[in-house]
Amino acid sequence: MTDMQTQSTAAESPRLSEFQEEVGRLKVTGGNANPERIGTLWGIALTIIGFIVLVISYITAREATRIENVHRAGIAALIGFAIVVTGVVLWIRNSMTRYLRYWIVRLIYEQREQTDALIKALRDK
């Protein structure tokens, strides 16, 4: 949608301009108390740490001469894999929060607009 279309649509619908203002307010950063940003950074850090553990475990298992050391490296690799999975899940969860927040605000405003149109149509009968 171009800027001209957005401006003409906003002029037609006061709800749309309210929606755009609300979305604009959502983009304001929360400073140091922004849990989504902190959670995203933790997710990325855990994923990197998990991959490092996996690589070290692989190298250790490959160079091991005793079966006990191979088993220990395998256990460390499982722990690294669990850390990677936890990091990815944490990152996805916190990355999706802002996106889903936008869509729920949009849904609320669209439903309000539809309700107003329905009430207007019923009153005009």
Contact between 19 and 105 (Cβ < 8 Å): yes
Summarised one tens digit per residue, pLDDT across range 53-103 is: 999 999 999 999 999 999 999 999 999 999 999 999 999 998 888 778 878
**Res 19 pLDDT > 80:** no
State residue 90's pLDDT score.
94
State residue 31's pLDDT score.
52
Q: Which two tokens stand for residue 107?
A: 């849904």
Across 21-44, average pLDDT:
73
State residue 47's pLDDT score.
97
Burial class (CB in 10 A: 0-12, 13-18, 19+), 14: exposed
Domain ranges of the chain: 34-124
Across 99-121, average pLDDT:
86
State residue 34's pLDDT score.
72
Question: Is this model's pTM higher than 0.75 or not?
Answer: no
Q: What is the dihedral of CA 98, 100, 101, 105, to 10 degrees?
A: 140
